[in-house]
Amino acid sequence: MFDLLKLTFREKKLVALSFLATIFVAFFSYVFVDMVQPIIDEMFGLGAQTAPAKFRFMDVIFRWLSVGREDIRNVLPLIVVVVIFGKGLFSFLSSFFMKVVGNKIVKSMRDDLYGRILYQSTSYFDRVTTGDLMARLTNDVDKIQQAVSSAMSDMIEESFILAALLVQMFVRDWQLALMSFVITPLAVVPLAAFSRQLKKKGLQSQVRMGQIYDLLHETIGGNKIVKAFTMEQFELKKFLKATAGYFRINLKLAWISSLSSPFMEFIGGAVGAFILFIGTKRIAAGLISPGDFGAYIMAIFWMFMPIKRLSRANNVIQQAAGCYGRIQEVLQSPSQVQDSDGAYALPEVKGHVRFEDVGFSYDKDRPVLFDVDFEVQPNKMVAIVGLSGAGKTTIINLLSRFYEPTSGRITIDGIDIRDVTLASLRSQIGLVTQDIILFNDSVRNNIAYGLEQMPEDRIVAAARAAECHGFITELPEGYAAMIGERGSLLSSGQRQRLAIARALLKDPPILILDEATSALDSESERLIQTALANIMKNRTTFVIAHRLSTIRNADMILVVDKGRITESGTHEALMKKEGIYRMLHDLQFPEVEETA
C-alpha cells in the first residue's frame, strides 16, 4: 500500500493536478447539496419564514451575485447547471490525470520487468515457470494499473466528497447528525461481514479457476499425448470435477452477493425512516427548515456511494499491493551471472580453450562436475561423449557462462572468461542445441537472428551449407515465409538445419554443437556432414553426439562419466583402451566388431 503511494507520487506534477481538480469536485459537491435548501425553502416557498438563521454557503453565493430573494427562483436553475457542469469538468480532469499516471507507471514497470527477465541468468529460468512470469507481466501489472488509475483517484476523490458531505450534515443540524452516527453501526457491522465473506469466497473462486486453467494448459499443450493414450474421458472427468468445484463456490458467491444489496437497502431504509421520524419532529418544533432537512437527507443518502466506492477501491488496492510484491520479487532478484567490475571486451580470439580443475553443481547439495581439466588447441574439433545425464551439456554451458563454475577456472586464449563481458564472450561462441529455438518470424530473420543488415547472398550461402536452401525455396514464400510459433510449421530435421545455418552465418571462432544432428535422420545427417566438416575447419568446435560415427575423426574425444572426464584421446587411442568409449562404440557398431 505504502509502496503503491510512493510509486504514484513519482509523477508529482500530474498527481498534484489531479489533487487540485479533486478539491474542486468536493467543493462543487458541497454546493450541490447546499442548493437543496433554497430550492425547497424558496422555490417551493415551504420554509421561507420558519428557516432559523445559520451559515449557508448558498447565501454567500447569492450575496456575492447580489441576487435578491425574489430573483432566487430565476437564478437557481442556472446555478444548478453551472454546479453540475463544474463538478463534471473537474471530475473528468482528476480522473484523466490519474489514468495518465497509471499508464505511465505501468509502462515503465512492464519495461523494467521484461528487461530484468531478459538479463536474468540461465539458472533463474530453471527455477521459474513461463506461466508464472507471464502472469506477473500481464495480470499483476494490470492490477497495479487499475489500482493507480482508478482506485487511487477514487480513494482521493471519494474521501474528499465524503468529508464535504459530513461537513454538510453537521452544518445543517449537528444534533441530528450525532444521532445518525449512533445508529450507523447498525448498518456497518453487517456490511463488514458481507464483504469479508465476499472476499474469502472470491479468493477460493480464483484458486479454482487457476486449477481449471492448469488443466486446460496441460491438455491443450499435450493434446497429442492425451489422444495417443485415449485419455480424453479421464481428462474430461478431471475437468468436470474442477468446474463443479468452481460452480459450487460461485453459487455461494452468488448467494452472498445477491443478498447483500437488498439487505443493506433494507437497513438503510430503516435508518432513513428513523431519521425521517426525528426530522419531521424537529421541523415541526421550528428547529430546522424543511430545506435544511432536505439537504441533510440528500447528504446522508449520497454518502452511501462514496462509502461503497471507497471499500471497492480499498479491495483493489489491497490486491494490487500483493501484485506489487510479486513484481518486486522479480525486479529485485539479482542476476547470478553478471559482468564483473572492470570487465572488458574479449578481443577476437583464436579459440584456445582451457578448463582448469572445474567443478560445478546446479544446486549446492548435488555436484554435477568434478575436476574437469582439459585443453583444446585453436581450430581443433573436440567431441564430448558419454551416457545421458553424464554432464556433457553442463560442460559447454559453463563455457558460454550460462552458469558459473563452483571451483576452478575456464580460459579462452589465456583469458579467464570471468574477466570479460558476457556480450563479448557470447558473440564469439556459436551454439546449436538439442532443443532448437526458433522465433515466429521469417525464415530469413531466423537465420540472421541478431545479425541485422546481413546481405541476402550470405544468408543463402549459410542456408546452402546447412542443407536448408532446398526446402526453403520449396516454401510458398521462400526466405520470407513465416515459420510459426517455435517453428511449428517445419519438421524437426528442418528446424535443426535452420539452427545450424544460423550458427554458420554468425561465423564464430568457437562453435558448439550439442546433439545438433540428433533430430536428423541418417540421410540428412550424411548430407550436412560435409557441410559440418567444412565449417569446423577454421574454428574450435565442440561436438556432443550420440552417434559416434559423427565424431570418429575428432582431434580429441573426451569421455564423460558421472561428471568426470574418464578417458580422452583420439578414436584409435580410445578404441585400444577397452574403456567406456570402446563399450559405447561396440554397442552402436556390433557388426564392425565382428569383422574387426
Stretch that binds ligand ADP, among 141-149, 332-340, 389-397, 411-419 (CB under 6 A): 389-397
Stretch that binds Mg ion, among 14-22, 50-58, 367-375, 386-394 (CB under 5 A): 386-394
Cβ closest to Mg ion, residue 109 vs residue 390: 390
Question: Do residues 298 and 39 lie in contact, with contact meaning Cβ atoms separated by under 8 Å?
Answer: no
Question: Do residues 301 and 57 lie in contact, with contact meaning Cβ atoms separated by under 8 Å?
Answer: no
| Binding flag, residue 145, Mg ion (CB under 5 A) | no
Question: Do residues 158 and 306 lie in contact, with contact meaning Cβ atoms separated by under 8 Å?
Answer: yes
Instruction: Measure the N-to-C terminal CA separation of the chain; round to a whole number of Å.
Output: 77
Which parts of 387-416 interact with Mg ion (CB under 5 A)? 393
How many CB atoms are located within 10 Å of the residue 470 CB? Answer: 12
The Cβ-side half-sphere exposure at 217, using a 13 Å CA radius, reads 10
| Binding flag, residue 393, ligand ADP (CB under 6 A) | yes
Size (the chain), residues: 596
Stretch that binds ligand ADP, among 40-48, 67-75, 294-302, 392-400 (CB under 6 A): 392-400
The cell for 201 is 469466497
| Binding flag, residue 362, ligand ADP (CB under 6 A) | yes
Q: How far is the CB of 254 from ligand ADP (least distance, A)?
A: 46
| Binding flag, residue 368, ligand ADP (CB under 6 A) | yes
C-alpha torsion sign, points 152, 154, 155, 159: positive
Q: Is 484 helix (H, G, I), strand (E, B) or coil?
A: coil
417 binds, among Mg ion, ligand ADP, none (CB under 5 to 8 A by kind): none
Stretch that binds Mg ion, among 385-393, 423-431, 436-444, 452-460 (CB under 5 A): 385-393
Q: How far is the CB of 583 from ligand ADP (least distance, A)?
A: 16
| Distance in angstroms (rounded) separating the CA atoms of residues 65 and 61 | 6
Q: How far is the CB of 435 from ligand ADP (least distance, A)?
A: 11
- Count residues binding Mg ion (CB under 5 A): 1
| Distance in angstroms (rounded) separating the CA atoms of residues 532 and 513 | 10
| Distance in angstroms (rounded) separating the CA atoms of residues 328 and 336 | 17
| Distance in angstroms (rounded) separating the CA atoms of residues 342 and 345 | 10
The cell for 276 is 425521517
Bridge partners, 104 (sequence order): none
| Distance in angstroms (rounded) separating the CA atoms of residues 110 and 100 | 15
Cβ closest to Mg ion, residue 25 vs residue 544: 544
Which DSSP symbol is given to 151? I
How many CB atoms are located within 10 Å of the residue 19 CB? Answer: 16
| Distance in angstroms (rounded) separating the CA atoms of residues 415 and 485 | 39
| Binding flag, residue 405, ligand ADP (CB under 6 A) | no
The cell for 159 is 474521501
368 binds, among Mg ion, ligand ADP, none (CB under 5 to 8 A by kind): ligand ADP
Q: In the sheet where 564-569 sits, what is the strand order?
A: 429-432, 510-514, 540-544, 381-385, 556-561, 564-569
The cell for 484 is 510459426
Residue reference for cell 480532469 = 93
Q: How far is the CB of 506 from ligand ADP (least distance, A)?
A: 22
- For residue 522, CA distances in Å to 165, 411, 519, 529 come to 83, 36, 9, 10
Q: How far is the CB of 356 from Mg ion (least distance, A)?
A: 22
386 binds, among ligand ADP, Mg ion, none (CB under 5 to 8 A by kind): ligand ADP
373 binds, among ligand ADP, Mg ion, none (CB under 5 to 8 A by kind): none
| Binding flag, residue 495, ligand ADP (CB under 6 A) | no
Cβ closest to ligand ADP, residue 103 vs residue 336: 336
| Distance in angstroms (rounded) separating the CA atoms of residues 567 and 571 | 11
Which parts of 126-185 interact with ligand ADP (CB under 6 A)? 126
Cβ closest to Mg ion, residue 145 vs residue 393: 393
Q: How far is the CB of 108 from Mg ion (least distance, A)?
A: 39
Q: How far is the CB of 550 from ligand ADP (least distance, A)?
A: 15
| Binding flag, residue 433, ligand ADP (CB under 6 A) | no
Q: How far is the CB of 431 from Mg ion (least distance, A)?
A: 12
Judged by CB under 6 A, the residue of 386, 430, 487, 508 near ligand ADP is 386
Cβ closest to ligand ADP, residue 394 vs residue 445: 394
389 binds, among ligand ADP, Mg ion, none (CB under 5 to 8 A by kind): ligand ADP
Q: How far is the CB of 391 from ligand ADP (least distance, A)?
A: 4
The cell for 477 is 514464400
Phi-psi domain of 124 (left: phi exceeds 0; alpha: psi -120 through 50; beta: other): alpha
- Count residues binding ligand ADP (CB under 6 A): 11
Judged by CB under 6 A, the residue of 389, 450, 470, 478 near ligand ADP is 389
Cβ closest to ligand ADP, residue 32 vs residue 124: 124
Which residues here bind Mg ion, judged by CB under 5 A? 393
Which residues in this chain contact ligand ADP in the complex, by CB under 6 A? 126, 362, 368, 386, 388-394
